Amino acid sequence: MATKPGERKQQILETLAKMLETPKREKITTAALAAKLDVSEAALYRHFAGKAQMFEGLIEFIEQSLFGLVNKITGEEQEGLRQVRRILTVMLLFAEKNPGMTRVLIGDALVNEDDRLQLRINQLFDRVESTLKQSLRIAETQTGRKLNPEAQANLLICFVIGRWQQFAKSGFKRKPMEFVQEQLTLLYGLEE
């Protein structure tokens, strides 16, 4: 049965993401990916120039998904601290829904891959950090509290990455949202 244009490409990316969900940190080869899809390696190369391009496809999905939600939050929510909370929540829930993508985000899946992939992830984090800084600046104005947006945004990114790393280390059993409410309450006095 013939597949629609783009359907096979999507299937390859979904299978790669699924393979990344395994807690074992084995390197994923194009041969293993082709075997999982029951196609030849040549069939993979009809859709992607190489494995780096497959990872770029996953990163594009991550960017579109996360920033679609982040932009919606900053557009809808006027309160700066609520923006921060919702952005962090979205990032942590994204990892829960997409464990394989978590390994891409923390760089675990990108070890021994093209260096430009890690640069793309770093740029993604820079964009999130910039958005968090802006939300914290809004919060400073609204609350009159000195929040030091630059330092706090960096701290929050580290917090999220740490949660994602714990999630991956647990074999994707211990969810990133565990203990988050308590920590956010301590940092910002945020409660649901």
Confirm whether 25 is domain-assigned: no
Q: In the chain, count H helices and then E strands.
A: 9, 0
User: How would residue 1 be classed by pLDDT, with cut points 50, 70 and 90?
Assistant: very low
What tokens appear for 111 in the block?
């070890």
Count CB atoms within 10 A of the CB of residue 106. Answer: 21
The pTM (predicted TM-score) of the whole model is: 0.86
Q: How far apart are CA 146 and CA 139, in angstroms?
A: 9
Confirm whether 107 is domain-assigned: yes
- DSSP letter at 110 equals G
Question: Residue range 146-171: average pLDDT?
Answer: 90
Question: Residue range 97-113: average pLDDT?
Answer: 92
Q: What CATH number is given to the structural domain containing 106? A: 1.10.357.10
Q: How far apart are CA 90 and CA 96, in angstroms?
A: 10
Percent of the residues in the chain that have a pLDDT greater than 90, as a whole number: 72
Percent of the residues in the chain that have a pLDDT greater than 70, as a whole number: 89
Confirm whether 7 is domain-assigned: no
Count CB atoms within 10 A of the CB of residue 167. Answer: 23
Confirm whether 17 is domain-assigned: no
State residue 119's pLDDT score.
96
